[in-house]
Structure 1
């Protein structure tokens, strides 16, 4: 949409869904080109031809916009992990993390997780954006659980969760693929708990 002087009009477009759709399209382009850290709300809004305030209006911020535009997730990862960290006994955190991970992805049939992994393998720029997003908004949240080796612990958690997801949803190795959630929770939870709070020597 342009004004009489040829410049794009800014602000909310007629029909909110048009603005929302334009922001999603612009976000996919900017995140792919510049990565998660390099992309700014202002740049995305400029690409969409709207005010930067529209990002917060429709998505609540950069994190949620990335999750919907690029990851196409039906949930907010940062909020979900915060819920897991803030509820229950710290000694059973590993089990709660595994249970939440499997429950969330099982509800989607594992398809979105598989698509994410394939995107990382096939597109370097997408892979960079995904790594930055998950490091900043997901796995880094686990680094403060224990006092020692925060970065190593966060990476160990990432390796366990991504590996489990690949086996269950991408490579689809039985019996992990068809195992009941609680069976996997009991088997893998203690390992994740050691990564989170146990000795790493």
Structure 2
């Protein structure tokens, strides 16, 4: 008579256990697929966990929030969801300059600039990357700015800020227009900051 073997229940993982080195990679692979299928807004930590065959607690353990996971997945060089709230907490009359300086000083770092240029090129020319990046920025950057403005046209104001910043990054770091690429951060903050400020509070 054949020996009866008690089946081993599949463990739902909330924290990593020794011998499970692939769990983190499985989550990243699942996130790539989930974001590609559903977009940034449609993807959820629960859905990514289910696709990876793990508990959602393990996703949070490795990556924190959905924004953290998305940033890791696409190699985002900046984290507006983390940095914008602190900028919004300062004096509002120089908020435009603070935003421009924050972005430019970050992009002057070689590791950020390298990854950022790749991300910008992908967002401009890739039909999958464009809606993903747009969704991330709409929720994590534009939404936070709009909420802080508390005006009826806040969404438009925030979008105008994003258009100004995106245009500046593309012109300086992707197209490398000579005069713009040669200008100092201080000069660009002084010239572009007031425009951004007008979008915010003008």
Determine whether 1:79 maps to 2:82: yes
State the superposition RMSD in angstroms: 2.1
- Structure 2 vs 1, CA of residues 16 and 137 (structure 1 numbering), >3 Å: closer, same or farther? farther
User: CA deviation digits over 1:58-93, x for unaligned, max 9?
Assistant: 1111111001112x1355321111111112x21111
Tell me how many residue pairs correspond in the alignment: 193
Contact 2:97 2:190 in 1 (8 A): yes
In structure 2, runs of 5+ residues without a counterpart are 1-5
Question: How far apart, in 2, do the equivalents of 1:52 and 1:106 lie?
Answer: 36
1:154-173 matched pairs, under 5 angstroms: 154-173=158-177
Contact 1:24 1:69 in 2 (8 A): yes
Q: TM-score, normalised by structure 2?
A: 0.86
Q: TM-score, normalised by structure 1?
A: 0.87
In structure 1, runs of 5+ residues without a counterpart are none
- Structure 2 vs 1, CA of residues 69 and 40 (structure 1 numbering), >3 Å: closer, same or farther? same
1:112-131 matched pairs, under 5 angstroms: 112-131=115-134
Report the CA distance between 1:139 and its aligned residue: 1.5
Contact 2:77 2:112 in 1 (8 A): no
The equivalent of 1:100 in structure 2 is 102
Question: How far apart, in 1, do the equivalents of 2:182 and 2:145 lie?
Answer: 28
User: CA deviation digits over 1:102-144, x for unaligned, max 9?
Assistant: 0112113522222122222332222111111100001122213
1:25-174 matched pairs, under 5 angstroms: 25-70=29-74, 72-87=75-90, 89-107=91-109, 108=111, 110-143=113-146, 144-145=148-149, 147-174=151-178
Contact 1:157 1:192 in 2 (8 A): yes
Question: How far apart, in 2, do the equivalents of 1:65 and 1:56 lie?
Answer: 9
1:179-198 matched pairs, under 5 angstroms: 179-198=183-202
